[in-house]
């Protein structure tokens, strides 16, 4: 691994440090300066010449600042004669802007992918994109990781005899079905209509959930509005309690207050793709740093990244042995 150099933007340095710890390489220093006119400037403080550069930066609030910082870091690496530049974006925020569902509306997911390619990115490593088609927005190779196996490990230690996996909407139902197979559980889904960014209506629940403990699985929780609406509808259908799991726990606005105070929610489980709220000690956070470190090691060694998740779906072979780092 001596030919790689890893940098971190300011969005989630703790995750980058943990990834480097698993890789056995130091996290190289960089410096971001904000000028009086609000412009940013980035300087990479380690040699990049003819080395494979990896830049870790989830797109979390303030999202525009972190996106611009990432683009500037890519530009600095290209200008420093890096052999290749791979951006590790654990949370790709603009994946929610994935289609033209109104007149004269922007498609941010595609625009940001184009910006990254124009800046000089050779490869993107990300996790749990909001919609599968976002993968196709990129003109460079994308390694799309999943946290389903990590989240499933949390529940395997529990009594699941009366549990059911519930997706908040039909769009996430396929992923929820895969998660349910990992745990050997049935699956249900809510019929959701989104009225605004923080307002949804769930008409009904498809599946037999009466008298069961729900494991609600979503890809991302922002304000928590969808989850609370789903919990109210599940109560109508006879659900006694629920555990909530997601890959990207943004918990914006009143989300922490909403989820902590809901009487039917027994726990909330997420991963560290984004920084966890400082005021929520009960939140259970699963680390995905080993997955990203292993993906980087496989990319550097020219090995398959997708085979890292062979065991996530029981229809495939067991997980492959890890490469020595």
- Mean pLDDT over 274-292 rounds to 96
Q: How far apart, in whole angstroms, are the C-alpha atoms of residue 164 and residue 63?
A: 35
Q: Would the CA dihedral through 11, 13, 15, 16 be positive or negative? A: positive
The residues near 281 (Cβ < 8 Å, ≥ 6 apart) are none
Q: Kindly list the distances between the CA atom of residue 300 and the CA atoms of 2, 222, 324, in Å, as whole numbers in the listed order.
A: 10, 34, 12
Phi, psi of 131 (to 5 degrees): -140, 140
126 beta partners: 89, 144
Q: What is the pLDDT of residue 164?
A: 97
Q: What is the pLDDT of residue 313?
A: 54
Q: What is the pLDDT of residue 325?
A: 47
Q: What is the pLDDT of residue 131?
A: 84
Q: What is the pLDDT of residue 299?
A: 96
Q: Which two tokens stand for residue 40?
A: 């940013």
pLDDT band at 202, cuts 50/70/90?
A: confident
Task: Residue 53: count other Cβ atoms within 10 Å of its Cβ.
Answer: 25
Is 192 catalytic? The answer is: yes
pLDDT digits (tens, 9 = 90+) for 68-101: 999 999 999 999 999 999 999 999 999 989 888 8
pLDDT band at 205, cuts 50/70/90?
A: very high
Q: What is the pLDDT of residue 194?
A: 66
The least confident of 8-12, 110-114, 244-248, 320-324 is: 320-324
Q: Kindly list the distances between the CA atom of residue 223 and the CA atoms of 196, 198, 199, 254, 255, in Å, as whole numbers in the listed order.
A: 12, 6, 9, 6, 5
Q: Evaluate if residue 271 carries a pLDDT over 80.
A: yes
Q: Evaluate if residue 279 carries a pLDDT over 70.
A: yes
Q: Evaluate if residue 316 carries a pLDDT over 80.
A: no
Q: What is the pLDDT of residue 311?
A: 67
Q: Evaluate if residue 222 carries a pLDDT over 90.
A: yes
Q: How far apart, in whole angstroms, are the C-alpha atoms of residue 43 and residue 30?
A: 6
Q: Which of 99, 174, 192, 233 is catalytic?
A: 192
Q: Which two tokens stand for residue 66?
A: 């972190």
- Mean pLDDT over 189-193 rounds to 82
Q: Evaluate if residue 184 carries a pLDDT over 90.
A: yes
- Burial class from Cβ neighbours inside 10 Å (0-12, 13-18, 19+) for residue 161 reads exposed
pLDDT digits (tens, 9 = 90+) for 24-79: 999 999 999 999 999 999 999 999 999 999 999 999 999 999 999 999 999 999 99
- Mean pLDDT over 265-289 rounds to 96
Q: Evaluate if residue 192 carries a pLDDT over 90.
A: no
């Amino acid at each position: 691994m001596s030919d790689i150099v890893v940098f971190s933007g300011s969005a989630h340095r703790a995750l980058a440090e943990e990834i480097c710890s698993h890789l056995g390489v130091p996290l190289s220093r960089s410096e971001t300066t904000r000028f009086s006119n609000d412009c940013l400037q980035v300087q990479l403080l380690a040699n990049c010449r003819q080395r494979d550069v990896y830049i870790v930066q989830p797109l979390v609030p303030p999202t525009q600042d972190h996106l611009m910082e990432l683009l500037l870091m890519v530009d600095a690496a290209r200008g420093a004669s890096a052999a290749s530049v791979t951006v590790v974006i654990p949370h790709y925020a603009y994946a929610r802007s994935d289609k033209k569902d109104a007149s004269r509306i922007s498609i941010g997911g595609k625009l940001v992918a184009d910006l990254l390619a124009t800046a000089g990115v050779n490869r993107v490593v990300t996790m749990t994109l909001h919609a599968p088609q976002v993968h196709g927005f990129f003109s460079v190779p994308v390694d799309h990781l999943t946290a389903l196996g990590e989240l499933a490990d949390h529940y395997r230690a529990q009594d699941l005899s009366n549990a059911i996996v519930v997706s908040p909407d039909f769009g996430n139902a396929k992923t929820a079905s895969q998660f349910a197979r990992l745990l050997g559980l049935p699956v249900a889904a809510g019929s959701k209509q989104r009225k605004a960014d923080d307002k949804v209506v769930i008409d009904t629940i498809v599946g037999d959930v009466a008298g069961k403990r729900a494991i609600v699985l979503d890809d991302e929780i922002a304000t928590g509005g969808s989850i609370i609406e789903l919990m109210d509808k599940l109560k109508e259908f006879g659900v006694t309690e629920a555990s909530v799991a997601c890959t990207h726990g943004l918990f914006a606005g009143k989300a922490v207050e909403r989820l902590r105070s809901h009487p039917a929610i027994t726990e909330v489980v997420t991963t560290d793709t984004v920084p966890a709220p400082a005021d929520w000690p009960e939140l259970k956070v699963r680390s995905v740093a080993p997955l990203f470190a292993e993906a980087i090691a496989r990319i550097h060694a020219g090995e398959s990244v997708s085979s890292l998740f062979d065991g996530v779906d029981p229809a495939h072979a067991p997980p492959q042995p890890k490469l020595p780092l």
